[in-house]
Structure formats: structure tokens, C-alpha cells
Structure 1
Amino acid sequence: MHDVVIVGAGPVGLFLACELGLAGCSVLVLEREPEPGSPWKAEPLGTRGLSAASLEAFYRRGMLHPLLSAVGADGDFAADPDADEVSPPRWAGHFAGMMLDPAKVDVTALPFRLPTPAPDVLLTHLEAVEAVLAEQAAKLGVDIRRGVTVSAIAQDDEGVVAHAAADAYAARWLVGCDGGRSTVRRLAGFDFVGTEPQFTGYTMQVTVTDPEKLRPGFNLTPTGMYIRMPSEGHFGMMDFDGGAFDRSQQPTRDHLQAVLRRVSGTDVTVSDVRLASSFTDRAMQTTTYRQGRVLLAGDAAHIHSPLGGQGLNTGIGDAMNLGWKLAATVHGHASDGLLDTYTGERHPIGAAVLDWSRAQVAAMRPDPHGQAVQAVVRDLIATRDGTTYVFERLSGAWVRHDLGGEHPLVGRNAPDLRLEDGTRLGDLMQDGRGVALDFSVDRRLRGSATGWQSRIRYAAGPARNDLGLGAVLVRPDGTVAWAGDRIPDREAFEQAASRWFGGREIS
């Protein structure tokens, strides 16, 4: 019996597998596709944007440079590791197709930012992301089996069994990371609720005989939106038809040409279709991320339109949050209710991302209401504060879990604090443990063992920029669990450590 079976070998499933493998769990990943490669995962159709928060996660697990190398971005995107101040972003993104000016992002207004080797954004593709994660998973002893389609799930108080054809795979826990049409979600009986679609979207690789009629980049029009990507023949479209044309129909050349003409307002001609797929802006979320011994992460737990590139990044956040908590539960040293904090912390984040997607759809609607909202949004993002607000949402800097702490840093993604000897927080997190950084002179955080020290890495000394802190406790997912001023509060620190890391020795 494995500790954990993960269904789905996409980026979220593989990242979670790496987290669990790093923590010493036995992990089996089941993937229905027989091969990892696909035109939908390679460039250009598999292109995705990774946010600053996601790139921090790769950095903290020693996978940032392999990822940058995989897409040939070592020189262009690698941040200056010795910078003293946070640099403005090179690309700030968009809201409903309305582009942001990166020069208007006020990085000093973003909460608790420090320079980090991780870039603020990276355009990559799914094939590269999955290759880096699969290699890491293999190093950690994760078993990945492809061509396996799960058809049934049975669970009891002791474990869960995934059935596929004549085979059965037993584990103590099972996690569905199998996408927006999740089989695990359906088989385990999760409630999936939300809003119905307003548009049908298309991504396609086609030959256009008169491409000069189409403007590059994002183009919000009175009848929808089209996107002309940098790669030749790569287009996206959004047609406000109420989601009438879904994936059950294969888009034909005539249909794609008609939609492109309608949303672009041109008589452009599509002469050949190499690949095309449709999607909608249906926004749905499970009411909980756990049913007994079955959990969900990524698109299996929440779906929405791809506007703003939030789906993959939210899924990676799910995997980081769940991984260490599930591992602690497997090993028997989790504090009471730790695993339930996964839903408690990530469900509100998912709900907020769905609303962010809905807001963009509302602004894109090809009617007088949508046009009015667009005018307001354009005025707002023309200001420094407006641009900074939208960028904060897109970068992941807005995320703060409600952990009950009084310090404004508690619950946020930890800044990459650096000691004067050059040691960075990110360097200390590569083994998957939590980290206690002590900047005080008397080192009050050292003390007798209470059961959680083996799961926390301790580092002490003056910091290059301590942000006015005396000490900080960081969970394995990079979330600040406790922060104190110049005189560390030993009692409060130990209460926080026991809450998140358990007060018992590993049995």
C-alpha cells in the first residue's frame, strides 16, 4: 500500500508528488495519457505564464534553474540575486484584454517584498514544466504510471482504493489532480457549484492568408476578443455565445473563420487548421477540497476561464499548501485538524480567483454594460494605484491566509530574507522543512526539544534586511506562521510552532 495515490500527472499532480516525495512518503501517480508529450502541451499551444508566487515555489525546491534552462530563459528572465531593491516587473499582464503598463507598478506598495532570484513572471509551456517536475519526482522515488484510467474509487476509515481496468491501487490517501473534468471529483461525490458560461473561447493554430488584417496581442472589440500570439498562426478568440459551442464539437475551418471574422470585425480568411480546441468561462468550485480520504487540487477543485493565467498558478499554490500537511498526517505528527486547514485556507483563494475571472468576463461583454465597465477599468489602470492593484492580483502577492496572527506578515508568502553571510530563506527551504530565522542577538529561539524541532530548520544571525523583525517562522509552503519584533516572544513562537508542526515526536 502506498501512502498517497495521485490521479493526474499534470503540473499540479507532479508538484504535489514532489512535495510528498521530499517528505519521505511513498507516492504513486496514475495518468490516463500513455505519453507525456502532446501538441497541446508544447509551444505554442501549451504556453502558460507562471506568476511570481509560483516561481518562488520552484526556487524554494531547487527547480527554478532547471525550469529556466528548459525554456532557454536563463539569461533573459533570471533575476539579480544581489540586488538591494525589488525591480519593477518586465511584464505586468492584463485585465480582460486591457494591458497594464509595467512602469506604473509601484513595487514599494506590494507587501513585504525583497529581492529574490525568482523572476516576477515567466512564459513557459506545459511540456517544459512537466518535464522538470517529472525528473524531480523520479529522483525522489515517485512512481509514475501512464496509460492508467481510474474508473472507480472505494474508501473506508483505513484507506482508499483506486480501480483501473483489472488493477487496484491501494493507498492511505488519494488526491485527484485530474483536471477540470475530474473523474476523481465525480467518483468521490464532491459537490461542484458555480456559474454557467458567457462565452466560448478558442485556441488554435491556423494559417491565415491575410494576417496583416489582425493586430498583434490582445484585442478587445465590440463583439468579443481575439488574441494574435507572437508565434505564427497561433490565435485565441472569445465569442459571447453563452458557451453554446463546447468541447463536444470539433471546430471546423468554416466555423473558426466565421468566429474570427465576427470578433475581429474583419474579412480575414482562414485557409488551413492544424489544431483547434474550445473552452468556456464556466466558473465552478467544489464546496470542500476533502471527502474522507480523498482530496482535490488544481482544476479538479476549481475551474474558470483562462483570463489572467490564474489556473495553473492557483493549482501550484494548492499543491504547496497540501503537500506538507498531508505528509505530516501520513507520518503521524500532524497537529490536530492540520489537514482540514487545506480547505480552510485554499477554498477562499479559489473562490476569489473565480470572482476575478467573472469580473473580467463582465468587463468584456459586448453590450452597453460591458462597454461602460471597460471605460471605468481603463481609467483605473491608467493610474499607478490601479495598475499596482491589478498586478498584485496577477502576481499572487495579494494572497494572505487567515492564520490568526496579529503581525501583518503572518499568513503571507515569506519574503526572501537573506542573512549577512549570504544564506537566503529560499536556500534553507529546499529540504521541505519549515524554517525559523532568528535575527536577535541572544538567540532566544534555541531551546529544549518539544517534538517539532526536527521538522524546522533553524538559522540565526543578522540579516541584510530584516524588515524590522526579530524572528520569523515559515511553514514548508513558504507561508509565514509567526513573526515578531526585535525581541522575540518565545512563548508565542512555540505556540505557533506547535500548532503548525505538532507537539509530538514522530512515532
Structure 2
Amino acid sequence: MPQVVDAEVVVVGGGPVGMLVAAELGLLGTKVLVLETRAAVSDRPKANTLHARAVQSLARRGYVDAVAGVADAAPQPFHFAGIQGLQIAAPEGEPSPILKLAQAELERTLEQRALAHGVSVLRSHEVTQVSQDPDGVRVLANTPHGTKSFSAPYLVGADGSASRVREQAGFATDTSAATVSALMGQVRLAAPDTAPRGWQRTPRGWVVCRTESDGTGVIRTLNFAAPADWRARPTLDELRAEVRRILERDVPMTEALFLSRFSDYTQVTRTFRLGRVFLAGDAAHIHFPIGGQGLSTGIGDGFNLAWKLAYAVRTGSGDPLLDTYDLERRPVVEQVVRNTRAQLALMRPAAELDPLRELFARILPCGEVSALIGGALSAQETVCSAGRDSACEWTGRFLPNQLFKTDRGVEDVTELLRAGRPLMLYHSESGQRHASVAQGWSHMLRTVRVHGQRPLSRDALLVRPDGYIAWTSASEDLAVLLHTWFGQHR
């Protein structure tokens, strides 16, 4: 008797990365099931920084009104290893290069969009077993109504740093042990006006504090002396003592609303795909949380993976397209790991590093330095290797937001990519032959005629759903690429 298939893709983990993958798949008509352990979205303080490439990608789908409504923003001040002076910029016409947004708010927004696209979200479902064969994936989950089985052709593990999917599916990892220990507490402050502000370094470590108008604050401490036992549950007394040790003064705290412990333990899976199982976000990579890069990197995973899965399901294109997920995202993650390690090395409070910190404080505001380091932190330097062609420097790069005169009037890139479909832009006078080739895949692509100035001085461009340029008319292999990624033409 054939097995009943519950969805085309099962997503394990309903955090922001899992919900993004689900929403993107649902947008493209894929039948998706999300299994989430938690009964509801958690409001505990987590990531609250989204960097430029994540912001730009979210804007192109209109996922967050605040993102879509902010354009032409000035460069935003940021830090590198706690040293102020870095300026992160974005191209003209793009949203603000840094968006402060609570992870819980983003998660709720993405879940609402996923539900609107017909995604099924099952909460209080804890996945316990994952198995796969050549035809599909099967998961077992503890639910409010007992153990249940679910199956699908593909599965995405977005279930966090303690990923059950990663463990059960047998993903090998490269790890490095913790060398530092850190505490984070959302606390009620007895005297908010006397709390430290921002990043405070002493010879004994770091204290980072952000206060709120309601008298609460989020305090983080960083201790380089020795890594703590991550299994030990943190207490308010421990946080008080650690702040006192580093600052050599008390910061009165009356209540702990939430406490957690973290370190620079690093783990990256050796592949982001094993057969029909994919990992995204913290399930695939864990690194020291400095520079606000963790959530944005997971968002990048989600945008890269979802459209490929959707078209693999729809066209049967399979391995040639799906293999590009690991090919493109793992190098990005490895660069983030190197970046966070460099910052941590610079943060060590040893006096012999003071001249180096002074040098960074002087050069960070310099335009070329800010562009180089800011481009890495904000992921705007990311280049996608699949389809990359040396005949054109634009292939693999993100298409900046700009205006085009089309048959419908004046439209920008953000509007043209809103539906999440691949986009063929061709010039009305010089690009018709390329549009004719693409016509065979019109059921997959959105083809738009551009009048006036040629897009990026090319006769035609093929833009992936995630905003990266897959092909330009400088190359002649359009039909081969379309066939490889989207199957037979009609």
C-alpha cells in the first residue's frame, strides 16, 4: 500500500528561518507543512539586527512593512569588535542597511504570510525521528494527540543549534571548542539611569547593556578567562557577580525576566544537503554571536533554498539545481565564521592589543575600510557561484533596486520580484531574441520588456527569485541554464 504524502516539503522548526522557507515555498504554490515544538512564538530577547542584504531581500517580497517603506537611507553607524566608527551603506534606492527588529516580530510576520499562502503550521509537535529513502523523507513527532508520522519528498531542518534533524539525518560537522563564556540577561534594573550604556571593556572582560523605557534592560557579559559549563543553568546572582567583577561596581538588578549562557563554540555542517534533507540557519551553522550576523545569515539561507526546492518539486529539476544550495551558502557561512573569530580576537582585553584597537578606531571610519568590512558584515559582497560566467562581471551578483520603464509604466526591481518568480528583463530593441528563447519557459518566468536604457547596459538579464543575476546577454547559454534549472520548455 503506497505511503500517504502529507506535503511536498516538511519544514522542521518554526523560527524566522523556517517560517521564511515555508512562506517562500507557499508563495510559489508548494504544499508545505511546518512542525514546531513551541506552542507559541517566544518573546524572549534574541536577535534584533537585520543587515543590508537580508533587509533588501525581505523588501523585495514586502514581508515587513517597515522594510519596504524605508528607502534611500543614509549609511548607518555600527561597530566592529565593539569598536565604533564603522559605517554600513547600501546602494541608492535600497532600504536602510540596518534594521532593528525583534526576532519575535519578524517570526510572527513570516508566519502570517506563510499561513496566507496555504502553509500548514502544526505547533506543539516535537520531531523525534527522521529517516529518508530514494523516494522521500519520513518524520515522527510527539504531538498533543500522541506520536504521529509525516512524509514528504523533501525536508528542511531549521530547528536551531540543537537540531534533531541534523542529528537524525546524520550530517557530519566541523567544530571548535569554546574558549570564552558569556551571559545574557533580560533584567529589571533598580536604577536604570546608573546602568552602563553600550559597549564597556575593562581588563577583565566586556559588559554590553541596552536599557528600555520601562526600566528593564538586556545585559551581556563576556569572560575570556575560561569557558563555563554550558549545561549549568545561569542565575541572577551569577549575572550580578559577573557584572561586578568586570566593571568593579554593582549594577542593581531586582529581577531576571530571562537568562541564558553562550560562548564561541563553533559548528558548521560539512554539507548543507544530504539527499532529500536540507539544513538552514542555526541547524547548519553556529558561531559566536558578534556583529548581528546570525539571523541575517539564516535569512540568506532561506531565500537561497526555498525557490530551488519549489522548482525542484514543480519541474523535477532535482540535483543540478538543489546542489547549488550547499555550493553557494557554505562559503558564505565559512566567511561569517572567520569574521566573528577576527572580532573575538580583537576583543580580548589583553593590554598588548590596545595599539591594534586604537588603529582600528582610526581606520574604521575611512570610506574604503568601511566599505570592505561593512560589505562583509552586511553580506552585500555575497556572490552566488551557480551559473557564474566570466563573460559578465554581473552574473552571480545581487541586482540593485532601480527603476525600469516597462509596458506597465515605471517599475522598480522590488516590485518586479514581489511574486517570487524568476525574472527575465530584456530591452525592447536589442533583447528580443533572448526573450524568444525564454518564451519556452513562460510558465516559470516573468518576462518584462524594458524601454529606454538597457538594464545594466545589457540586452537582457535573468534574475533569480532571490534577487541574484543568473545570466546576462554577454553569454549565449540561456537555454542550457533554463533547461538545467527549470526542466523542459513547453
Provide the TM-score with structure 1 as the length reference: 0.87
1:35, CA displacement in angstroms? Answer: 1.8
Helix, strand or coil: the match of 1:447? helix
Q: Aligned partners of 2:200 and 2:481: how far apart in 1?
A: 49
Indicate yes or no: 2:120 matched with 1:115. no
1:372, CA displacement in angstroms? Answer: 4.8
Q: Aligned partners of 1:253 and 1:448: how far apart in 2?
A: 65
Q: Of 265, 272, 290, which aligns to 1:307?
A: 290
Letter in 2 for 1:39: D
Match of 1:23 in 2: 28
1:350, CA displacement in angstroms? Answer: 0.8
1:363, CA displacement in angstroms? Answer: 0.8
Match of 2:420 in 1: 432
Pick which of 256-265 and 350-359 moved more: 256-265
Note the residue ranges of structure 2 that are not aligned, 5 or more in a row.
Answer: none
Helix, strand or coil: the match of 1:260? helix
1:194, CA displacement in angstroms? Answer: 2.4
1:494, CA displacement in angstroms? Answer: 3.5
Q: Aligned partners of 1:222 and 1:385: how far apart in 2?
A: 31
Q: 1:64-75 residue pairs with structure 2 within 5 A?
A: 64-65=64-65, 68=66
Contact 1:198–1:361 (8 Å) recurs in 2: no
Contact 1:335–1:498 (8 Å) recurs in 2: no
Residues 464-499 of structure 1, C-alpha deviation per residue, up to 9 Å, x if partnerless? 784433322101111111234xxx66x344344334
Q: Aligned partners of 1:243 and 1:499: how far apart in 2?
A: 48
1:127, CA displacement in angstroms? Answer: 1.7
Residues 74-104 of structure 1, C-alpha deviation per residue, up to 9 Å, x if partnerless? 8xxx334xxxxx5532x232111112353xx
Letter in 2 for 1:292: G
Residues 133-192 of structure 1, C-alpha deviation per residue, up to 9 Å, x if partnerless? 111111111000000111111211111110113210111111100001111101111112
Residues 372-395 of structure 1, C-alpha deviation per residue, up to 9 Å, x if partnerless? 542342233142222222221222
CA 463–216 in structure 1, closer or farther in 2 if over 3 Å, else same: farther
Residues 352-377 of structure 1, C-alpha deviation per residue, up to 9 Å, x if partnerless? 11111111111111224544542342
1:335, CA displacement in angstroms? Answer: 6.5
Letter in 2 for 1:79: V
CA 494–292 in structure 1, closer or farther in 2 if over 3 Å, else same: closer
Indicate yes or no: 2:121 matched with 1:130. no
Letter in 2 for 1:249: A
Indicate yes or no: 2:165 matched with 1:184. yes
Q: Aligned partners of 2:339 and 2:371: how far apart in 1?
A: 15
Indicate yes or no: 2:458 matched with 1:469. yes
Q: Of 8, 24, 29, which aligns to 2:13?
A: 8
Helix, strand or coil: the match of 1:446? helix
Match of 2:121 in 1: 144
Q: Of 469, 472, 475, which aligns to 1:483?
A: 472
Q: Aligned partners of 2:424 and 2:314: how far apart in 1?
A: 21
Q: 1:19-418 residue pairs with structure 2 within 5 A?
A: 19-36=24-41, 38-40=42-44, 45-46=45-46, 48-65=48-65, 68=66, 78-80=69-71, 87-89=73-75, 91-102=76-87, 113-116=91-94, 118-165=95-142, 166-211=147-192, 213-231=194-212, 232-246=216-230, 248-334=231-317, 337-368=320-351, 370-403=353-386, 404-406=388-390, 407-418=392-403
Contact 2:47–2:295 (8 Å) recurs in 1: no
CA 355–472 in structure 1, closer or farther in 2 if over 3 Å, else same: same
Contact 1:363–1:374 (8 Å) recurs in 2: yes
Helix, strand or coil: the match of 1:343? helix
Pick which of 215-224 and 280-289 moved more: 215-224
Q: Aligned partners of 1:214 and 1:18: how far apart in 2?
A: 41
Letter in 1 for 2:217: G
Q: Aligned partners of 2:443 and 2:110: how far apart in 1?
A: 26
CA 114–439 in structure 1, closer or farther in 2 if over 3 Å, else same: farther
Contact 1:8–1:177 (8 Å) recurs in 2: yes
What is the aligned-residue RMSD (CA, Å)?
A: 2.3
Contact 1:214–1:264 (8 Å) recurs in 2: no
Note the residue ranges of structure 1 that are not aligned, 5 or more in a row.
Answer: 81-85
Q: Aligned partners of 2:366 and 2:420: how far apart in 1?
A: 40
Contact 1:11–1:130 (8 Å) recurs in 2: yes
Q: Aligned partners of 1:414 and 1:448: how far apart in 2?
A: 22
CA 334–474 in structure 1, closer or farther in 2 if over 3 Å, else same: same
Q: Aligned partners of 1:48 and 1:172: how far apart in 2?
A: 34
Match of 1:456 in 2: 445
Helix, strand or coil: the match of 1:187? helix
Contact 1:196–1:283 (8 Å) recurs in 2: yes
Q: Aligned partners of 1:377 and 1:495: how far apart in 2?
A: 48
Letter in 2 for 1:25: T
More strand by share: 2
Q: Aligned partners of 1:495 and 1:264: how far apart in 2?
A: 62
Residues 318-342 of structure 1, C-alpha deviation per residue, up to 9 Å, x if partnerless? 1111111111111234265110111
State how many pairs are aligned.
472
Match of 2:404 in 1: 419
1:218, CA displacement in angstroms? Answer: 1.8
CA 245–335 in structure 1, closer or farther in 2 if over 3 Å, else same: closer
